[in-house]
Amino acid sequence: MSSKLTALNEWVDQVATHTRASQVSWCDGSAAENERLIAAMLESGDLEKLNPDTHPDCYLHRSDPDDVARVEHLTFVCTEDPDQAGPNNNWMAPAEAHALMKGLFAGCMEGRTLYVVPYCMGPVDSPLSRCGVEITDSPYVVVNMRLMTRMGADALARIENDGHFVKGLHSTGELDPDRRYIMHFPEELSIQSFGSGYGGNALLGKKCHALRIASYQARTEGWLAEHMLIVGIENPQGEVRYVAGAFPSACGKTNLAMLIPPAAYREAGWKVWTVGDDICWLHPGEDGRLWAINPEAGFFGVAPGTGNKTNPNALAMLDCEAIFTNVAVTEDNQPWWEGLDDRVPAKDWRGRDFDPRQGPAAHPNSRFTVSIKRCPSYSEVAESASGVPIDAILFGGRRAGLAPLVLEARDWRHGVLLGAGMASETTAAATGAVGVVRRDPMAMKPFCGYNFGDYWAHWLEVGSKLSHPPKIFQVNWFRRDADGRFIWPGFSDNMRVLEWVLDRCLGQAQVRETAVGGLPEDGAINTDGLEQHPDMEALLEVEPSAWLAELDDIAAHLEQFGGRVPGELRQELDRVATRLGEAG
């Protein structure tokens, strides 16, 4: 192996010795390698083959019942100065964390194979991409990383050329919840994860690298690593414009990434192209615009709720070459989850005979892993080395009142405030409590690898370098009427809002300025063809007293981060409050 890979070879040797791995396997990402790993997991019972007639090359994995989701309380950012991590992260001193993890990893791979997984986040030939290597003892991780990243020989060649990479060390250990930690060392560009096989904790290229470590990289290098979708909107003239959007969970992010326009729009020639559904890396371009890549190559999506009504494009890609985790199965061994159809499953996610008294058939966080190229709306620009230019950024949330259907930020600074104040209200299904407002700035609360105060300052700094920044909008598909019913139809009809957003980017649509931002003028959003005409006045209402209370709450939220909150953000908050007071 090349002398340029000396550091990688030495690290692999050190880990193999410390973990006492029985053998070392360097992964090349080939189909033959993938087939061998799947065959071995079928034999061991780690995978089960699904119905080959309806779901060829699809497999089911059932994880340990105590290992089914990310463990945020056991996820740490380890920096020398705790203020660098900030109150938005759990902190541990690097020396303490290394000592703890060294003890856990000692001898943990005895009798197991150590897999070396080189991967590239983003197109392999893109200067915007960054590489990593994950060492793992889980073949399940290897086959998922092959779907989720550009993994294997090409990535290794890129690492050899670059001479640097993010180090990720993972072991499932004994899957003991009391011996489970996910440690991030941003100043070392490294990750260590022990005791979990769940994707969010074990697929280290995903949230660990592509958000927590990459956000730190982005700050030092002058770009943004964001928890955002990327979607292309093609108008009847064949022009494609790109939108990035940040949405907390249960706010329709994946559905928007794969949106199918309403019939009238399709007939007129509108098309929607999926570039990414979860993570977006934004780089300032020489032309003064922001250019984006999707660092991932696949989807690790939540299965429950995915159906023909909510997301037909997602459903269409899940009948071939997919891995399902913790879903139920039907009598004829097809994958099933709540929201799919009205069939009754035979086995639940634990492999037990289905009994509704024992809870949902599929785990609420059950997942599918599939290549993005299987998506019917996939755009080949996802492999573009230069990325795509972003015209608009959306910040979304779930609010029964307060937030209008769509609101345009006055400028970049105001847009950063909208993102910093992002919030959603809880639903009974999720928490047992209704309407509790939870702040999730830029949808990055669990994923920002450093202090939020510094993060917002970095957003402002990046914006100051853009001569043609994207316009920023806040959207809310979830406003309700006095009877608790959704006012806006949502789903495909969100295309109507995107049309207005993109028209605003071109300076063509009508806007009404208010204290909190720009709203569509009467009739500016196309509602032709809707079965029921929504109450647009209610959807776009701005109540000054409610917004003043909201600003007080945002101010209290910012105060957690003390002097690290940029003064410009506090000034923007005061400006909006003053205008609201005058309006009220």
Provide CATH code, domain 3-46+72-221: 3.40.449.10
Is 53 in contact with 61 (CB distance < 8 Å)? no
pLDDT, residue 431, reads 43
**What residue spans in the chain does CATH classification 3.90.228.20 cover?**
226-297+381-583
- Point out which residues pair with 121 in neighbouring strands: 130
Q: What is the DSSP letter of 222?
A: T
Give the three-class secondary structure for 275. strand
DSSP bridge pairs for 230: 244, 276
Question: How does pLDDT run across 226-245, given as a tens digit for each residue?
Answer: 999 999 999 999 999 999 99
How far apart CA 277 and CA 293 sit, in angstroms, is 11
pLDDT tens sequence across 379-399: 999 999 999 999 999 999 999
Rounded alpha-carbon distances, angstroms, from residue 325 to 141, 143, 278: 12, 13, 18
Catalytically annotated residues:
251
The vertex-229 CA angle with 363 and 550, nearest 5°, equals 85
Q: What are the Cα distances from residue 388, in Å, to 201, 232, 261?
A: 29, 9, 21
For residue 93, the model assigns a pLDDT of 98
- Tell me which residue of 461, 520, 463 sits closest to 496, measured CA to CA: 520
The answer to whether the beta carbons of residues 351 and 86 sit under 8 Å apart is: no
Give me the sign of the Cα torsion angle 503, 508, 510, 515.
positive
The segment(s) of the chain belonging to CATH 3.40.449.10 are 3-46+72-221
Q: What is the DSSP letter of 378?
A: B
Token duo for residue 578: 């003053």
Determine the distance from the C-alpha atom of residue 483 to the mean position of all C-alpha atoms in its chain, rounded to a whole number. 33
CA distances from 528 to 85, 269, 496, 508 (A): 49, 16, 10, 19
Query: Per-residue confidence of the chain (584 residues) as pLDDT tens digits?
Result: 566 799 999 999 999 999 999 999 999 999 999 999 999 999 999 999 999 999 999 999 999 999 999 999 999 999 999 999 999 999 999 999 999 999 999 999 999 999 999 999 999 999 999 999 999 999 999 999 999 999 999 999 999 999 999 999 999 999 999 999 999 999 999 999 999 999 999 999 999 999 999 999 999 999 999 999 999 999 999 999 999 999 998 888 999 999 999 999 999 999 999 999 999 999 999 999 999 999 999 999 999 999 998 999 999 999 999 999 999 999 999 999 999 999 999 999 999 999 999 999 999 999 999 999 999 999 999 999 999 999 999 999 999 999 999 999 999 999 999 999 999 997 654 445 667 899 999 999 999 999 999 999 999 999 999 999 999 999 999 999 999 999 999 999 999 999 999 999 999 998 999 999 999 999 999 999 998 899 999 999 999 999 999 999 999 999 999 999 999 999 999 999 999 988 87
Annotate 54-93 with DSSP letters as a single string.
TSTT-EEE---TT-SS--GGGEEE--SSHHHH-TTSEE--
b/e per residue 171-182 (b: at least 16 CB within 10 A): bbbebeeebbbb
**Considering only CA atoms, which of 242, 243, 233 is closest in space to residue 266?**
233
Give a three-class secondary structure readout of 36-63: HHHHHHHHHCCCEECCCCCCCCCEEECC
Q: Are 122 and 114 in contact (CB under 8 A)?
A: no
By CB atoms closer than 10 A (0-12, 13-18, 19+), residue 345 is buried
Q: Superfamily for 298-374?
A: Phosphoenolpyruvate Carboxykinase, domain 2 (2.170.8.10)
Provide the residue type at 236 as one letter. Answer: P
Q: Which fold has domain 226-297+381-583?
A: Phosphoenolpyruvate Carboxykinase; domain 3 (3.90.228)
Contact by Cβ (8 Å): 262, 495: yes
* Positions of CATH 2.170.8.10 in the chain: 298-374
